[in-house]
Amino acid sequence: MTTTETSPDINTVNIEAVAGLAAKIQESPEVASTTWKAAVTWEQGFRSTASIRDFAPIGSDEPAGLGGTDTAPNPVEQLLAALGNCLAVGYAANATAAGVTINDLRIEVEGDLDLHTFLGLNPGGNAGFQGIRAKVIIDADAPAETIEELHRLVTGTSPVGHTLARAVPIQVDLAERTISEVTA
């Protein structure tokens, strides 16, 4: 992300903080290595909540057709939203750095999921998305060429986009095992 001289109020993005972090990372590259965390607590049925930093817990549930109570988005919907939210951050940051005012930005994200493996009907198959598509609708005070360059920059630097598009090692350890005592 390259910055130009911008107003501190453009897109209400604190671009100085972003530029300061980039400068700090250039000076001390080890600062770029970060770890992000979430803790999930099961409530009942298919309902759980994710705790992230000091924010209110984020609910998760399944639609009634999948056995849930439909009280919150399900995990795959949250994954799609995470991609859209990450792209929105990229557009806001990079447009601000380029001095481009965004008047309206919407990102529609959808993905194709075959439930066979999830339901145990195709052991060893792919339970994940077969494909994900995002459509960006942006109204900004810039010529089409600038918006196209902004789009290339955002899609080329999205952490969530890169995570979804590449094989990422996932390790799931069973940390505790508690056996409830059964009484006769």
DSSP for 78-143? HHHHHHHHHHHHHHHHHHHHTTPPEEEEEEEEEEEE-TTTTTTSSTTS--SEEEEEEEEEEEESS-
Residue-wise over 1-37: b if at least 16 C-beta within 10 A, else e?
eebeebeeebbebebeebbeeeeeeeeeeeeeeeeee
| Global model pTM greater than 0.75 | yes
Q: Which long-range contacts (CB under 8 A, 24 or more apart) does 41-50 make?
A: 45/69, 46/74, 47/71, 47/72
User: What is the CATH topology of the domain spanning 10-165?
Assistant: GMP Synthetase; Chain A, domain 3 (3.30.300)
Secondary structure of residue 9 in the 3-state scheme: coil
Number of residues in the chain: 184
Give me the residue spans of the domains in the chain.
10-165
Give me the half-sphere count of Cα atoms (radius 13 Å) on the Cβ side of residue 143: 1
What values do phi and psi take at 133, rounded to 5?
-125, 140
pLDDT, the chain, mean: 93
Choice between 161 and 175, residue whose per-residue pLDDT is larger:
161
Q: Which residues are paired to 106 by β-bridges? A: 137
Task: Judge whether 136 and 43 are in contact, CB under 8 Å.
Answer: no
Q: Over the stretch 55-107, which tens digit does the pLDDT of each residue have?
A: 999 999 999 999 999 999 999 999 999 999 999 999 999 999 999 999 999 99
Mean of pLDDT values over 96-119: 96
Q: What does the alpha-carbon distance between residue 8 and residue 15 come to, in Å, rounded to a whole number?
A: 7
Residue 183 has pLDDT above 70, yes or no: no
Q: Which residue has the tokens 């996932």?
A: 170
Local structure of residue 72 (DSSP, 8 states)? S
